[in-house]
Amino acid sequence: MLASSSRYRKELLQRLRIPFDCASPDIDETPLTGEDASAYVVRLAKQKAAELASRWPEHWIIGSDQTCVLNGRICGKPGTAEKAQAQLLQASGQRVTFLTGLCLRSPTGEEFSLCEPFHVQFRELSPELVERYIALEQPLDCAGSFKVEGLGITLFSALEGRDSNSLIGLPMIGLTDLMLQAGLQPLQLAE
């Protein structure tokens, strides 16, 4: 069971060819006072998995949450074109860290979790370029205001990390690691 309504995470998980269902967890995603970004995304991933486990206790649950850390601040999904433009202009020329919290919860309540970092070096971006990008891609539901799987790749001069799927919201290498820790072999589950 995938604890997400994200079409991006669903598309990634489908690559493993393991049957699954999706449901949207209902949790408060407000950062806690003094909470660092790594703890924040892992906490939310665990809460998402736990919330679905209360409804589907017999299932394995995957919870995931992502945030962008820009100049030491947690930045989420922009929601509006104006906020996306502000985020991207602030990221212009900067090295930005993306953190994805991941939790695999067993039917017995055992949790396996990690925080997957990924770094992006943004090119220098003009307001006109950012405006054009937002109009073409509409990245309003994406942490960091870009879609790396689309035109967002043109905004970067370098990517650094072990799994670029992290930028889409579900680190597949990390998920495989957690599955193996839990005693699940993805290739044996694939159809």
Residue 146 belongs to what domain range? 2-189
- What pTM, to 2 d.p., does this model score? 0.91
pLDDT, tens digit (0-9, with 9 covering 90-100), for 57-74? 999 999 999 999 988 888
- CATH number for position 96: 3.90.950.10
- Respond yes or no: is residue 28 known to be catalytic: no
DSSP for residue 89:
H
Active-site residue, selected from the candidate residues 26, 28, 36, 65: 65
C-beta of residue 21 within 8 angstroms of C-beta of residue 178:
no
pLDDT, tens digit (0-9, with 9 covering 90-100), for 104-154? 999 999 999 999 999 999 999 999 999 999 999 999 988 889 888 889 999
Number of domains in the chain: 1
